[in-house]
């Protein structure tokens, strides 16, 4: 019998730099479940804002203009029901940081679109693929 996972009321998304994957996931969760799930994001390191993220999220009506990349330490919050890690180094850090907390940690391996090369259209497609993959995973997890 499959394990039934409850819908979390608070989620922390963590990626490497809090510039691409985790802010996308935070924005998508807020879009899909407005005012239903307390959502934050951070990174192992604080990166720089990525204009491709803004562009592909704008396509769905999600404004990440106020997002500033931050680290787990910058966040200084605890008490999440679920921590979702999107990169290997984020998963390792999350397990270490939450080892004394009662929190579920899930690893959703997600490619890094910043390695995409080619034309602007090809790079945008790589970012859209990550965005759409995260959207599907969030919808599935929150059913």
Backbone angles phi, psi at 54, to 5 degrees: -60, -40
Cα(102)–Cα(96) distance, integer angstroms? 13
pLDDT digits (tens, 9 = 90+) for 98-124: 888 888 999 999 999 999 999 999 999
Contact 54, 64 (CB under 8 A): yes
Residue 119, C-beta contacts closer than 8 angstroms, at least 6 positions apart: none
Could you tell me which residues are beta bridge partners of residue 84?
13, 106
Cα(56)–Cα(21) distance, integer angstroms? 12
pLDDT along the chain (143 residues), means of 10: 71 96 97 95 94 96 93 87 96 90 92 95 98 97 90
What pLDDT is stored for residue 5 in this prediction? 66
Cα(7)–Cα(93) distance, integer angstroms? 23
């Amino acid at each position: 019998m499959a394990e039934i996972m409850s819908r979390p009321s608070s989620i922390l998304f963590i990626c490497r730099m809090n510039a691409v994957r985790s802010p996308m996931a935070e924005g998508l969760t807020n879009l899909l479940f407005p005012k239903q799930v307390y959502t934050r994001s951070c990174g192992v390191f604080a990166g720089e804002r990525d204009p491709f993220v803004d562009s592909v999220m704008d396509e769905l009506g999600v404004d990440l203009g106020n997002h500033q990349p931050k680290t787990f330490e910058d966040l200084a919050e605890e008490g999440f029901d679920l921590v979702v890690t999107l990169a290997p180094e984020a998963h390792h850090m999350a397990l270490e940081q939450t080892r004394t907390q009662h929190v579920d940690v899930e690893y959703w391996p997600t490619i890094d679109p910043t390695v995409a090369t080619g034309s602007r259209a090809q790079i945008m497609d790589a970012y859209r693929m990550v965005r759409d993959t995260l959207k599907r995973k969030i919808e599935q997890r929150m059913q």
